[in-house]
Amino acid sequence: QVQLVESGGGLVQAGGSLRLSCAASGRAFSSYDMGWFRQAPGKEREFVGGITRSGLTTYYADSVKGRFTISRDNAKNTVYLQMNSPKPEDTAVYFCAAHGSGSAYAPSSYKYWGQGTQVTVSS
């Protein structure tokens, strides 16, 4: 069992920066690939990016590639999402999740989810 708690959301101006954190409980954190997703009002939850359990490989949705960076610190049981140059269309609730099986890009492949943190990007 892994419990995930996101933090760091808030209001940010377009072109600014924001870092989200996701703290995990349990000693199994380092055995999970992790993902970040987001969900805007009236829209489906969408993949933002992911990171392998070692932290050596990251992958991103085209919409955030080059602007967002995922990292993790297994000693601190934490995964991060650095958001640089955010745009108003990045406004959403952001979730971190621990991967179970299946495609890394599909929400249904993730076994554990945090409660989400709101990010609002003003123009």
The string of pLDDT tens digits covering residues 15-38 is: 999 999 999 997 789 999 999 999
pLDDT for residue 14: 97
3-state secondary structure of 51: strand
Residue 118 and residue 50 in contact, taking contact as beta carbons nearer than 8 Å: no
Sign of the Cα torsion 12, 15, 16, 18 reads positive
Residue 82 and residue 71 in contact, taking contact as beta carbons nearer than 8 Å: yes
pLDDT for residue 63: 97
The string of pLDDT tens digits covering residues 42-54 is: 999 999 999 999 9
Q: Report the candidate in 114, 121, 100, 102 with the shortest Cα–Cα distance to residue 45.
A: 114
6 pLDDT higher than 80: yes
pLDDT for residue 29: 93
